[in-house]
Amino acid sequence: MVINYAFTMKNTQEHISFRFNWNLNEKTANLLGQCYAYVNAILNTPIRPDHHQQLLTVSLNKGALATTAIEGNTLTEEDLDQIQRGKDLAPSRKYMQQEVENILGAFNTILEELVRKKSPAIITPELMRRFHKMIGENIGETFGGNPGQFRRQNVVVGIVYKPPPFGEIEKYIKKLCDWLLHDFHYTHEQNFDEAVIEAIITHIYIAWIHPFMDGNGRTARLLEFYLLMRAGVPSIASHILSNHYNDTRTEYYRQLHHASETGDLKAFIQYALEGFRDGLEKIIELIHKEQAELTWKNYVHDITEKMQSEEKYKKTARRVRQLAYYIPADRFYSLDEIKILNARIAGEYQAVSLKTLRRDLDLLVKKELLKTEKNKYRANNELLHRLLPEASAGIRRHF
């Protein structure tokens, strides 16, 4: 698929220099520091297996949809949900389904090799061709090249950007692989900053060299995914950069253009890191939300367990525990709404009167587990703030 970048690129390959043509400024260094801190926070926070699987599924789905959307695929999350429930799309959209399924298959293969089998590899021409084959398999004529094969003709990308001639691709790719191996120190105690920058740089260089007839962007982003996973970035964060590029697609193309025009990758690195940092922050927020829910349930359990030890509450403690567990904090709920909030509450209260339900709710208000307003109730999870370390309002942004 040929992308129209909507601007003019120069026709020489001076920018493909295999040199460190960037000087990281203070902001970029701080971005790397924030990303490192967030990655470690995610890796060192226990997540329930079911919640982790949910986050991983969302991450892989978003990543697959994003990287194919950049190339023109219009499938939505709803379409993908339909596919994963075993329902194929209309024949006219079958190739789009195959594109997304190919990416998901590649993601899962990489996770199996890197995360579960702990079998990383260095970047080689063979690995690039293997990834390209994964991307292009079974798509048919809509994939404009031979999956797993470097191109055998010269091409023009977009308007007038001419990648290296096909006869020089092997040379360029070998130089890229050698450069990545020797200058980014993967086999010699590579640090986090080197690994993340290697991933971003590899992405750019594949876009510049354009070694395949089709699927170069997807291959570039898959290699980026691979290098981030190899560096130990959590699998639940695997979608972040593809999502960022897709959400800011105009800026993505502008940054690629600027990098090729100037040969300076500093701006693209900063642009990518900003998206990476923001995406990691969102994952931390999701994990914190789940941690807060677990902490709330533990707190409710402790309070109702104490109630159960008191004679007057023995018969009601287990029942009111279900109320305190499952009444949300997002808004106030009426008695009729509460009684059918979920199966557990309905099971406990189907045989009792609204008067009993109200009495139990008022008991939980007394215990400060619920708040009430105009005969409606919600969880009082502001209590969790008491469990946080004390601090002034302070400053909450690093840079």
Sign (positive or negative) of CA dihedral 99, 105, 111, 114: negative
Using the 8-state DSSP alphabet, how is residue 383 labeled?
G
219 is in an annotated binding site: yes
What's the pLDDT at 7?
40
Show Cβ contacts of residue 364 under 8 Å, excluding neighbours closer than 6 positions: 320, 323, 324, 370, 377
Spatial neighbors of 141 by CB under 8 A, at least 6 apart, are none
Instruction: Name the nearest CA neighbour of 98 among 147, 150, 157.
Output: 147
Query: Which domains, from first to last, does the chain contain?
Result: 26-284 (1.10.3290.10), 310-387 (1.10.10.10)
Q: Which residue has the tokens 């990303």?
A: 35
- Residues forming the active site: 210
Is 214 annotated to bind a ligand? Reply is: yes
User: Using the 8-state DSSP alphabet, how is residue 371 labeled?
Assistant: E
3 state DSSP class of 31: helix
Amino acid symbol at 251: E
User: For the whole model, what pTM was predicted?
Assistant: 0.87
In angstroms, the Cα distances linking 266 to 32, 196, 242, 369 are 13, 13, 19, 52
**Is 326 among the annotated ligand-binding positions?**
no
CA distances from 229 to 121, 132, 195, 212 (A): 11, 18, 10, 24
Return the C-alpha torsion angle 39, 281, 49, 82, nearest 10: -120
Name residue 68's amino acid.
T
- CA separation (Å) from 127 to 26, 100, 124, 308? 35, 20, 5, 61
C-alpha 15/C-alpha 58 separation (Å) is 36
Closest CA to 170 of 211, 135, 215, 127: 211
Average pLDDT per consecutive 10 residues, the chain (399 residues; last block may be shorter): 42 78 88 97 95 96 97 96 92 95 98 95 98 96 93 85 93 97 92 97 96 97 98 96 97 93 93 98 96 92 92 88 94 95 91 93 96 96 82 61
Annotated ligand binding at 232? The verdict is no
> Shortest CA distance to 234 belongs to which of 68, 80, 59, 22?
59
Tell me: is residue 252 an annotated ligand-binding position.
Answer: yes
Q: State yes or no: 144 annotated in a binding site.
A: no
Q: Is 191 annotated as a binding residue?
A: no
- Using DSSP's 3-state secondary structure scheme, residue 214 falls into coil
Which pLDDT does position 4 carry in this prediction? 41
The verdict on whether residue 167 carries a ligand-binding annotation is: no
CA atoms within 13 A on the CB side of 344: 10
CA distance 348 to 327: 14
Phi-psi region of 5 (alpha: psi -120 to 50; beta: other; left: phi over 0): alpha
The answer to whether 86 is a known ligand-binding residue is: no
pLDDT for position 393: 61
